[in-house]
Amino acid sequence: MRGFLSSTSRLLALCCVPLAAATAQRIDSATVGANAQRTIAIDERLASDAGIRIGDRVVLAPEPGSSAGDTVRVSAIIRRRADPSEVARSEYRVRLHLDHLQRLIGYGDRVDRFAVLTAGGTATDSVLSRINSAAFGFKAYPSREIAVETSKTFLVVSRFHRAIGVITIVASATFLLCIMLLKVDERRRDVAAMRLMGISRSTVVRSVMLESSFVALAGSLFGVALGFAVSAFVNVHYQSVYRTPLRFAIITPSTVAYSVLLSLVLGIGAGALAARRLARTPPLALFGR
Amino acid sequence: MRFQLAGRTLRRHVSRTLLATLGVAVSAAMLLDMVMLATGMRQSFASLLGSNGFTIRVSPRGTLPFDSEATIGQGAEATAAIQRVAGVTAVAPVLGATIHVLGRGEPVTAFALGIDPAVQGDYQLLEGAEPTAPNTIVVSDAFLRAAKAHVGDTLDIAVGFDPQLRTYQGRQRLVISGRARFTYLSAEDRAVALRLATVQAMVGGQRADRVSLFMVRTAPNVDPEVARAAIERALPRVTALSTAGAIAEAERRLSYFRQLAFILGAVSLIVGFLLVSTIITVSVNERVGEIAVMRAIGVSRWHIVQQITIEGVALSLTGAVAGLLLGIVTARYLNSILRGFPGLPDAIDFFLFQPSAAFRALGLLVASGIIAGIYPSWRAASLPISATLREEAVG
């Protein structure tokens, strides 16, 4: 099989050598003999879209239509990790050995960056300061600083989701409050009958509150089940759209606890409000007399 | 009469009516916001791309403009080839590079655009003159702040650094001839624009006579898609993208927001409908005796249906009007959050108020209020009068 891979991938490839880099997971590979031609690894999307398999030969060129290209063999197919920063990016990725890429694109003995593994703790700070003081023209950054810089997009998305969440909570709280008030209001005749039978106001209020608690609890449990179903659908849908193993919707125990608690508080609160109002109204007035 | 009766019924349970109106208002606000989100991005991006009259972008094959560091070789030859395509009226080549301003303490790094000042679409000059001379540049406000420079200053600028030789490459002294707003960059981006030939000479070596992107203007009577296909045929090493194609690509990348808008908009509509229908149904159930009496004294069935439907419409309409105001306020807030995306061009808005789309959405909500009122009102008006009266009287 012949084809070309544009130089679009060159920076990406530079960043991801060797294959054991933490950005991808090897899902299939073949052993290559010592005297075999140069080998590359390609990502699952490219393999699937171009119908490339392990052992296929492809031509790598620094530019489309370039006559200067290398025929290489595909030795591995790799899967991207669940990295949110790659979700909206649809380009293909190719990984090749550093010297091979440098030669192919005429980049000389240059690299874009180094990833340095340290012993951790104070060793990291010491390595950082030694590199920064010794290497004129280089600047070393701790990974956490880079993570903060590159996660700005997700902080924005996260803030947006939180704001949408607040609006949704206000809308659902109003809806819930309204429904609970109506639900209790519907019991006006029952409450009137209970009061005429001599049942005390507090007992009436407690019984109505108990009922509204059950309704709120049943509604919350149904809501949680619906939430799990919807999040499963969202994950399946977006994982297929963006071809990523990333989970888009995650329901945590704290999310469940928060939503159940909120609906219980609103439900019981609305029940208490309506029940107190009913209990204070004269029974005959509740009958409409 | 009908309006008076409907108004009195709603006033009879003030707290319930207020709560329902609030619920509809929040639903309407959410619906409006989601409509603004779904249509705003597309409109805003289309305005941005169409603002300078260029209808086609040409980038290295398989890439999107400035999506990678890839460039198109033999730029002059490619420019001539594109100019020869029928319907093309102007070609603006652009080369992107990173520059360093030296001699002002820590070097200031900025994004440089090599352009042809006579036919560029990357910036609007705010002050000063175009960089027509080889040693002149126009810069963004953010650049001026970072470099602590002013229009008229001369800067020592380099395009690269060789750590082995510890020397800067492509060093030149350039005069700031003007201040500009860069169309496709954010206000925080440090950007400069200078003549393409100057940038090519500064980068030298492999990037001389290379171009990152061509922006192409076509004649008004020419279909950009036809010109786009002709460019790709003339230059097989490029990808040509029309404005419509670029919008489609942006929409594909931002499909998450569109789908989110669709889902939340639909949920808002359903919540609004359920709220109004529940309120009306309960209200009608409470008043079956009253309705039966009205029917018994000769009030027509159609009159009853109208009165109850007016209640639903009043709730929806009041909620929709309140929701319109609430929606605009929340949309501004949500837009300010999303405008925080790093590198987002100033001209892009995620939430854009378009009266036709907004009023269609709110109209849909009011229509759902009408539908929500029709069933309970029809049911109430169809109750057997004598049986209902007996039941209500006996309890």
Shortest distance, CA B14 to any CA of chain A (angstroms): 12
- State the pLDDT at residue A29: 58
- State the pLDDT at residue B154: 92
Tell whether B257 and B165 lie within a shared domain: no
- Spatial distance between the Cα atoms of B167 and B160, rounded to a whole number of angstroms: 8
Give the residue-averaged pLDDT of A193-208: 84
Range of the domain at B333: 2-49+253-394
- Spatial distance between the Cα atoms of A67 and A69, rounded to a whole number of angstroms: 6
For A9-13, A236-240, B8-12, which range has the lowest pLDDT when averaged over its residues? A9-13
Yes or no: say if B247 and B45 are a contact pair by the CB < 8 Å rule.
Answer: yes
Shortest distance, CA B222 to any CA of chain A (angstroms): 28
For A19-33, A86-100, A254-268, which range has the lowest pLDDT when averaged over its residues? A19-33
Name beta bridge partners: A29: A76
- Probe site for chain A from B256, B273, B348 (most A CB atoms < 10 A): B256
- State the pLDDT at residue A288: 61
Residue B57 counted as domain residue: no
- Work out how many CB contacts closer than 8 A connect A with B: 122
Cβ–Cβ gap A106/B206 under 8 Å: yes
Tell whether B111 and B209 lie within a shared domain: yes
Cβ–Cβ gap B237/A167 under 8 Å: no
- Probe site for chain B from A138, A150, A175 (most B CB atoms < 10 A): A175
- State the pLDDT at residue B268: 82
Instruction: Using alpha carbons, select from A254, A258, A270, A255 the residue that is nearest to residue A216.
Output: A270
Tell whether A179 and A281 lie within a shared domain: yes
- State the pLDDT at residue A6: 34
Tell whether B75 and B43 lie within a shared domain: no
By C-alpha distance, the chain A residue nearest B25 is A171
Tell whether A143 and A157 lie within a shared domain: no
Residue A83 is part of a domain; what is its CATH number? 2.40.40
* Neighbour count for residue B337 (Cβ, 10 Å): 19
- Compute the radius of gyration of chain B from its Cα atoms: 31
Asked if the model's pLDDT at residue A239 lies above 50, the reply is yes
Q: Nearest by CB to A175, from B23, B70, B333: name it.
A: B23
Q: Which two tokens stand for residue A266?
A: 């609103």
Cβ–Cβ gap A6/B289 under 8 Å: no
The total domain count for chain B is 2
Predicted confidence band of residue A165 (pLDDT cuts 50, 70, 90): confident
- State the pLDDT at residue A17: 31
Tell whether B297 and B157 lie within a shared domain: no
Yes or no: say if B92 and B196 are a contact pair by the CB < 8 Å rule.
Answer: no
- B-chain CB neighbours of A164 within 8 Å are 260, 264, 334
Instruction: Using alpha carbons, select from B228, B231, B240, B172 the residue that is nearest to residue B202.
Output: B172
In A39-68, the residues whose Cβ lies within 8 Å of chain B are 63-65
- Spatial distance between the Cα atoms of A78 and B146, rounded to a whole number of angstroms: 42
Tell whether A180 and A259 lie within a shared domain: yes
Tell whether A134 and A168 lie within a shared domain: no
Tell whether B272 and B362 lie within a shared domain: yes
Cβ–Cβ gap B19/A159 under 8 Å: no
Tell whether B381 and B356 lie within a shared domain: yes
Tell whether A50 and A67 lie within a shared domain: yes
- A-chain CB neighbours of B16 within 8 Å are 178, 181-182, 185
- Spatial distance between the Cα atoms of A157 and A163, rounded to a whole number of angstroms: 10
Asked if the model's pLDDT at residue A16 lies above 50, the reply is no
Shortest distance, CA A133 to any CA of chain B (angstroms): 14
Range of the domain at A264: 151-286
* Neighbour count for residue B214 (Cβ, 10 Å): 27
Instruction: Using alpha carbons, select from B147, B117, B149 the residue that is nearest to residue B133.
Output: B117
Residue A288 contacts B where some CB pair is shorter than 8 Å: yes
- State the pLDDT at residue B93: 93
Q: Give just the sign of the alpha carbon dihedral B135, B138, B139, B144.
A: positive
Residue A2 counted as domain residue: no
pLDDT < 50 stretches in chain B: none
Residue B55 counted as domain residue: no
- State the pLDDT at residue A15: 30
Residue B247 counted as domain residue: no
Cβ–Cβ gap B30/A288 under 8 Å: no
Instruction: Using alpha carbons, select from B299, B280, B296 the residue that is nearest to residue B370.
Output: B280
B324 against A89, higher pLDDT: B324
Q: Nearest by CB to A174, from B19, B256, B289: name it.
A: B19
Tell whether A229 and A160 lie within a shared domain: yes
Cβ–Cβ gap A178/B341 under 8 Å: no
Q: Nearest by CB to A6, from B27, B70, B163: name it.
A: B70
Shortest distance, CA A198 to any CA of chain B (angstroms): 19
Shortest distance, CA A269 to any CA of chain B (angstroms): 14
Residue A227 counted as domain residue: yes
Shortest distance, CA A35 to any CA of chain B (angstroms): 32
Residue A1 counted as domain residue: no
Tell whether B258 and B359 lie within a shared domain: yes
- State the pLDDT at residue A25: 54
Cβ–Cβ gap B19/A91 under 8 Å: no
Residue A168 contacts B where some CB pair is shorter than 8 Å: yes
- Spatial distance between the Cα atoms of A219 and A176, rounded to a whole number of angstroms: 10
Q: What values do phi and psi take at A199, rounded to 5?
A: -70, 135
- State the pLDDT at residue A269: 83
Residue where a domain terminates, one of B210, B236, B262: B236
Cβ–Cβ gap A182/B16 under 8 Å: yes
Cβ–Cβ gap A8/B60 under 8 Å: yes
Residue A113 counted as domain residue: no
Residue B243 counted as domain residue: no
Tell whether A202 and A180 lie within a shared domain: yes
Instruction: Using alpha carbons, select from B96, B151, B94, B101 the residue that is nearest to residue B117.
Output: B94
The total domain count for chain A is 3
In A200-259, the residues whose Cβ lies within 8 Å of chain B are 238, 241
Q: SS in 3 state form for chain A? A: CCCCCCHHHHHHHHHCCCCCCCCEEEEEECCCCCCCCCEEEEEHHHHHHHCCCCCCEEEECCCCCCCCCEEEEEEEEEEECCCHHHCCCCCCCEECCHHHHHHHCCCCCCCCCCCCCCCCCHHHHHHHHHHHHHCCCCCCCCHHHHHHHHCHHHHHHHHHHHHHHHHHHHHHHHHHHHHHHHHHHCCHHHHHHHHHCCCCHHHHHHHHHHHHHHHHHHHHHHHHHHHHHHHHHHHHHHHHHHCCCCCCCCCCHHHHHHHHHHHHHHHHHHHHHHHHHHHHCCHHHHCCC
Residue where a domain terminates, one of B236, B264, B286: B236
Give residue-wise pLDDT tens across range B296-316.
888 888 888 888 888 878 888
Tell whether A57 and A141 lie within a shared domain: no
For A11-25, A268-282, B250-264, which range has the lowest pLDDT when averaged over its residues? A11-25
- Probe site for chain B from A159, A164, A248, A284 (most B CB atoms < 10 A): A164
- State the pLDDT at residue A79: 83
- State the pLDDT at residue B352: 85
- State the pLDDT at residue A134: 76
